[in-house]
Amino acid sequence: MLPRLVKKGKLQAVKYGNRLVYCAPKFKRTDRKLPESINHGLGVTEGLVRFWRAGAGGTIIPSRYFRGFGCIPEWGIQYDHSILLYEFSTRDNFYQALQEKVRRYTEFMEKIQERVGVRMLVLFNLAVSRGNVIRWVAQYHPEGPFMFTDDQTFRSIPIGEQMSAPIYFWGGDGQAYPLKTK
């Protein structure tokens, strides 16, 4: 089916490592951002699958729900009394935009919470080394409902244990915590 959609011009096949990745034809084969877009898409999907498999139930909230608030997470999951918002940052986005993203969430968090009516936590999964995450948190001390982790550690945790693994840094004290205790 996918090769037929490529022939019809409805999809584009792009070599990514040893495999083909299919994407919308809006991306050109020579687009420099295409590999980053693929990495970003895979990171977003990996995060959603891992949190969904963590089994805490919840309702998935697509990113479009947050349009108009000044910051748009990749997705959210609403649990009984809270919402987890997920941000995945590739290496270039970490260095160029993380501080601005945190600032924007801080600015608009009250507005978003007013609309949804429950407390929220923003998790930043960052495609950089754990040391870089620790240094960034120590340097900027982002206060508020923010947790940070590196993607390699995030993916090393067995599927289903994303909520209970103590791999997330909070800006207030720089210590690693789980998202929820057992």
Q: Where are the domains of the chain?
A: 1-31, 33-177
Determine the pLDDT at residue 36.
72
In tens digits, what is the pLDDT along the chain, a chain of 182 residues?
Answer: 999 999 998 988 888 889 888 887 765 555 556 667 788 888 999 999 999 888 767 899 999 988 887 889 999 999 888 889 999 998 887 877 899 999 898 888 877 777 777 888 999 999 999 999 999 999 888 888 999 999 999 999 999 899 999 999 987 677 899 988 65
Residue 130's pLDDT is 95
Per the structure block, which two tokens stand in for 13?
């096949």
User: For residue 180, with 0-12 CB atoms within 10 Å meaning exposed, 13-18 middle and 19 or more buried, which class applies?
Assistant: middle
Reading the block at residue 87, the tokens are 């941000």
* pLDDT on residue 75: 95
Q: How much is the pLDDT for 4?
A: 94
pLDDT of residue 60: 93
Give the separation between CA 94 and CA 71, rounded to whole angstroms. 16
Q: What is the pLDDT of residue 30?
A: 54
Q: What does the pLDDT read at residue 34?
A: 67
Strands, sheet with 168-170, edge to edge from the N-terminal-most edge strand: 59-62, 75-78, 82-89, 119-126, 146-150, 168-170, 176-177
Name, in order, each residue with C-beta under 8 angstroms of 91's C-beta and a sequence gap of 6 or more: 127, 128
> pTM of the full predicted structure?
0.85
Q: Supply the pLDDT for residue 5.
A: 93
Output b/e per residue, 37-65; b: 16+ Cβ within 10 A: ebbbeebbebbbebbbebebebeebeeeb
Angstrom distances, CA of residue 173 to CA of 97, 104, 130, 131, 154? 22, 21, 16, 16, 20
Report the top-level CATH class of 33-177. alpha beta
